[in-house]
Amino acid sequence: MKSRPEPTSHQPLELLSVVIPCRNEEGAIPSAVEHLYVELRLHNIPHEIVTVDDGSTDSTWQTLEALCQRVPTLRPMRNTGDNGFGRAIALGIDQSHGDAIVIMMADESDDCRDVVRYWKLLGEGWDAVFGSRFIRGGGVIDYPLHKLLINRMANLFLRSLFRIPLNDFTNAFKAYRREALDGCRPFLSPHFNLTVELPLKTIVRGYSWTTMPITWRNRRTGMSKLKIGEMGSRYLFIALYCWLEKYFSRGDYRKKQSPAKDYK
């Protein structure tokens, strides 16, 4: 694994919140939630599963309500304001209780076993852990070729622009300590560009981070909500915003380092 810089958070973690935004996922969300619940219970991880229904027009909400009977740690909620992937995640973060937060997709494209590994790495003191599908040990299954090519070009652009050894900025499946997410506020991205905003702000603002390999599988039910044609300018906007902050903010937003005595 590659890491920049060393872990700095010394507070032990008490609760993991897994935030899952969902829109019209009636076919995928039951197995996604149940498999995650079983995996976290197997490893005795104290947790809550926070699902945010982002304006579904199918039976996603009714499905989530029924799931509560089988998954006692499930906390479903509805985004009753303006819809958007980023807005749903922000609501889930705001309403969650954990001091560790993993953002996960509802379509089972993310491996719930990787959530356990995220929890362990955050417990070692990292402020954030970024999964990558494109490092040794990671992988993708059934990734559409055109999306793969666009993904690799976008990530190469971000890696070159920020001079950061991370090659999977655009992947939503990442983990953060709450203090790191609070340090990334305000969240500016209402849509999928939040997946780029959070890691860039985490790095630019001086929080510790590391990477680990993850596996991604293309959804088996439902349809993807990401519309590449609509997102290009939004990704570019947030990338340029974070670039300007990195080079021109004079450190105004950087993490405030606590005195060493606070960690004793």
What is the number of other CB atoms lying within 10 angstroms of the CB of residue 81? 11
Question: Is the distance from CB of 172 to CB of 105 less than 8 angstroms?
Answer: yes
Strand runs (DSSP E) across 28-90, as ranges?
47-53, 74-78
Q: How many CB atoms lie within 10 A of CB 233?
A: 10
CA 100-102-106 angle, 5° bins = 150
Domains of the chain: 13-249 (3.90.550.10)
What tens-digit pLDDT sequence spans the chain (264 residues)?
444 567 776 789 999 999 999 999 999 999 999 999 999 999 999 999 999 999 999 999 999 999 999 999 999 999 999 999 999 999 999 999 999 999 999 999 999 999 999 999 999 999 999 999 999 999 999 988 888 999 899 999 999 999 999 999 999 999 999 999 999 999 999 999 999 999 999 999 999 999 999 999 996 665 555 555 556 799 999 999 999 999 999 788 998 765 433 322
The pair of three-digit structure tokens given for residue 154, joined into one six-digit string? 């976008």
- Cβ atoms within 10 Å of 85's Cβ, excluding its own: 23
DSSP 11: S
Residue 128 to residue 203: CA distance in whole angstroms: 9
The encoded tokens of residue 247 equal 């080079």
Q: What are phi and psi of 246, to 5 degrees?
A: -60, -40
Residue located via tokens 């990401």: 226
Q: How far is CA 139 from CA 132, 133, 152, 155, in A?
A: 8, 5, 13, 16
pTM of the model: 0.90
